[in-house]
């Protein structure tokens, strides 16, 4: 029987690892591409973040490589990155056998929270140089990502305004009960103006000073009266403190309807991914991204839950980042508004953006509905509509509206001459009395016609077929492949920093995968 000879095995040998640790790393391994790509970046702006005196810090290029490679491998925790720098041969080689602890890694991320945005831009420009993106087409979409804040720390505008109004009424009643010249004079001065916390605190100080100047009470009734007045002044101070709290809530809210106490930058929103399936609102950020060939070319965070009001500032950020506006922009119906169409027209951006009834108006039921405004005959020269019964609807006025951003819209009002006894009234006009009135935004109708012509053209059909596999695919890979579903930081500035690291890692990972498929 042949004797089996095993290879020698010992863990206490002098040289356990090879002299060059990269011998165990393949030539086409992603870590080598990450190393080479980040070496090409200009990190001059990082130098101003460090002091010349003191202990020598870790090299920022090494730290940047370690963090980005960690994000590429779904490692977002500083503690886990620290572990990988000791256990994973790829991290060890990338870091040059440096061992920064998790505190140092976290401090580095926070230190470069402004500069990392420039790193993201540089990576996208490198992608453009290599032909992965053109930066001429922008596919825009948004998603809501949950904040780290507690779900039950909400502050609602309506509740604050309601309680604040009640508090002001209580303050008026309290001042009427305080039998003092100071309180009555201040109350009479504020009959038309609203009370402020500073005013109430000043009033309380004056009342306390007046009480201190009075002689000590001699009888039991005088002592009782003095205690009652002191209690009223203390109650006034408490209401001033509460009014201060309400005013701070309103200041933090700004134009929002809600915010979280633990993360004031987060707004309560409803999400499609509802774990409890009951429509519960959770503290979120509205993340907007622009993509091309499934690369993230731009991103931004917004407080408002709807997408309509985010498009203009988001496209403006694209111009600030790359020095020009995209030549073509494609988005879903959530972005189709007169204000957005007007902005893109002024910027010479061809808008392949749907509006809310784009798909519905393609159906036969919509086209055959003779009562809809879109299907009524309009005489442009004489400016009147013709109702289904052939009656002229003359223009009787104009209504002016303003959006949240201050954009002015004009709605023309048309009214029929006499709808009494009309046999088609049942489907034409729901009110029992009066003549039918319609409001028409002619400028928006023109923008819709332009969008319709673009979207039904050959190029528009191509954009419409690509749009679902552009930002939607990125969101799917982000949330389910890379498990980036919830932020790990408080505050918009840190959330932006964290996503800038992620977007940079995402683009590098996508570039490597694209190169491997092409090879």
Sorting pLDDT into bands at 50, 70 and 90, what band is 362?
confident
Q: Per residue in 275-296, pLDDT tens? A: 556 668 888 999 999 999 999 9
Q: What is the mean pLDDT of residues 44-67?
A: 88
Tokens of 363: 């159906």
Q: What is the pLDDT of residue 346?
A: 92
Q: What is the mean pLDDT of residues 444-451?
A: 92
Q: What is the mean pLDDT of residues 462-477?
A: 91
Task: Reply yes or no on whether the pLDDT at 518 is more than 50.
Answer: yes
Q: What is the pLDDT of residue 128?
A: 94
* 237 φ/ψ angles, rounded to the nearest 5 degrees: -65, -40
CA distances from 255 to 249, 304, 305 (A): 12, 9, 12
Task: Reply yes or no on whether the pLDDT at 15 is more than 80.
Answer: no
Q: What percent of the chain has pLDDT over 70?
A: 93
Task: Reply yes or no on whether the pLDDT at 181 is more than 50.
Answer: no
Task: Reply yes or no on whether the pLDDT at 354 is more than 60.
Answer: yes
Q: What is the mean pLDDT of residues 343-371?
A: 89
Task: Reply yes or no on whether the pLDDT at 23 is more than 90.
Answer: no
Tokens of 42: 């200009």
Task: Find all residues with CB under 8 Å of 304, minimum gap 6, and list them.
Answer: 255, 256, 267, 286, 310
Task: Reply yes or no on whether the pLDDT at 491 is more than 60.
Answer: yes
Helix residue ranges per DSSP H, 77-196 = 78-87, 89-94, 102-111, 115-129, 157-177, 181-189
Q: What is the pLDDT of residue 437?
A: 87
Buried b (16+ CB within 10 A) or exposed e, 98-112: eebeeeebbebbebb
Q: What is the mean pLDDT of residues 201-207?
A: 81
Concatenating the DSSP letter of every residue in 66-107 gives HHHHHHHTT---HHHHHHHHHH-HHHHHHTTT----HHHHHH
Q: What percent of the chain has pLDDT over 90?
A: 44
Of 183 and 118, the structure prediction assigns the larger pLDDT to: 118
Closest residue by Cα to residue 283 from 156, 123, 198: 156
Averaging pLDDT over each range in 24-33, 117-126, 307-316, which range is the top one?
Answer: 117-126
Residue 381 gets which letter from DSSP? T
Q: What is the pLDDT of residue 184?
A: 54
Instruction: For residues 357 and 377, give the distance between their C-alpha atoms in angstroms, rounded to a whole number.
Output: 19
Q: What is the pLDDT of residue 423?
A: 84
Tokens of 150: 């507690």
Instruction: For residues 174 and 188, give the distance between their C-alpha atoms in angstroms, rounded to a whole number.
Output: 13
Q: What is the pLDDT of residue 175?
A: 80
Task: Reply yes or no on whether the pLDDT at 191 is more than 70.
Answer: no
Q: What is the pLDDT of residue 16?
A: 58
Q: What is the pLDDT of residue 496?
A: 93
Mean pLDDT value across the chain: 87
Instruction: For residues 295 and 503, give the distance between their C-alpha atoms in angstroms, rounded to a whole number.
Output: 9
Q: What is the pLDDT of residue 129?
A: 93
Instruction: For residues 445 and 500, give the distance between their C-alpha atoms in angstroms, rounded to a whole number.
Output: 39
Q: What is the mean pLDDT of residues 265-271?
A: 88
Q: What is the pLDDT of residue 474?
A: 93
H or E stretch covering 215: none
Q: What is the pLDDT of residue 153?
A: 85
Instruction: Please tell me the least confidently modeled range out of 141-155, 199-213, 397-411.
Output: 199-213
Instruction: For residues 78 and 101, give the distance between their C-alpha atoms in angstroms, rounded to a whole number.
Output: 8
Sorting pLDDT into bands at 50, 70 and 90, what band is 124?
very high
Q: Quick check: 491 and 265 in contact, CB under 8 A?
A: yes
Q: Per residue in 69-100, pLDDT tens? A: 999 999 999 999 999 999 888 998 898 888 99
What is the pTM for the complete model shown? Answer: 0.86
């Amino acid at each position: 029987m042949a004797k089996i000879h095993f290879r020698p095995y010992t863990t206490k040998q002098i040289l356990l690892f090879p002299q060059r640790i990269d011998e165990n790393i393949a030539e086409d391994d992603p870590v080598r591409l990450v190393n080479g790509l980040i070496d090409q970046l200009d990190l001059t702006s990082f130098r101003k973040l460090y002091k010349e005196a003191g202990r020598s810090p870790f090299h920022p290029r090494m730290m940047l490589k370690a963090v980005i490679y960690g994000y590429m491998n779904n490692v977002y925790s500083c503690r886990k990155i620290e572990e990988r720098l000791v256990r994973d041969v790829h991290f060890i080689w990338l870091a040059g056998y440096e061992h920064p602890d998790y505190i140092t890694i976290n401090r580095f991320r926070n230190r470069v929270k402004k500069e990392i945005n420039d790193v993201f831009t540089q990576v996208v420009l490198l992608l453009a140089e290599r032909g992965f993106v053109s930066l001429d087409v922008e596919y825009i979409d948004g998603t809501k990502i949950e904040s780290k804040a507690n779900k039950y720390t909400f502050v609602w505008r309506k509740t604050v305004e309601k309680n604040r109004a009640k508090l002001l009424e209580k303050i008026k009643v309290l001042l009427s009960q305080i039998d003092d010249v100071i309180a009555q004079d201040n109350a009479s001065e504020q009959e038309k103006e609203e009370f402020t916390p500073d005013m109430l605190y000043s009033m309380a100080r004056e009342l306390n000073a007046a009480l201190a100047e009075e002689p000590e009470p001699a009888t039991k009734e005088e002592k009782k009266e003095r205690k009652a007045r002191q209690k009223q002044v203390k109650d006034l101070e408490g209401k001033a403190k509460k009014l201060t709290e309400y005013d701070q809530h309103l200041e933090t809210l700004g134009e929002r309807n809600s915010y979280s106490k633990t993360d004031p930058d987060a707004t309560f929103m409803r999400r499609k991914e509802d774990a409890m399936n009951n429509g519960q609102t959770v503290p979120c950020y509205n993340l907007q991204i622009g993509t091309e060939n499934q690369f993230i070319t731009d991103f931004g965070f917004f407080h408002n839950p709807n997408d309509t009001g985010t498009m203009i500032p988001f496209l403006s950020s694209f111009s600030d980042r790359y020095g020009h506006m995209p030549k073509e922009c494609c988005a879903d119906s959530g972005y189709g508004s007169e204000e957005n169409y007007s902005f893109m027209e002024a910027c010479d951006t061809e808008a392949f953006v749907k509006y809310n009834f784009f798909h519905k108006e393609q159906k036969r039921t919509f086209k055959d509905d003779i009562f809809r405004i879109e299907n009524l005959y309009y005489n442009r020269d004489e400016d009147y509509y013709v109702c289904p019964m052939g009656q002229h609807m003359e223009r009787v006025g104009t209504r002016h509206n303003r959006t949240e951003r201050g954009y002015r819209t004009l709605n023309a009002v048309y009214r029929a001459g006499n709808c009494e006894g009309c046999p088609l009234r049942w489907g034409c006009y729901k009110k029992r009395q009066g003549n039918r009135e319609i409001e028409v935004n002619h400028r928006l109708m023109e923008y819709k016609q332009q969008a319709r012509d673009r979207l039904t053209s050959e190029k528009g059909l191509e954009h419409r077929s690509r749009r679902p596999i552009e930002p939607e695919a990125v969101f799917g890979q982000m949330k389910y492949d890379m498990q980036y579903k919830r932020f790990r930081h408080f505050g918009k500035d840190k959330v932006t920093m964290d996503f800038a690291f992620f977007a940079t890692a995402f683009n590098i990972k996508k570039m490597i995968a694209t190169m491997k498929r092409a090879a």
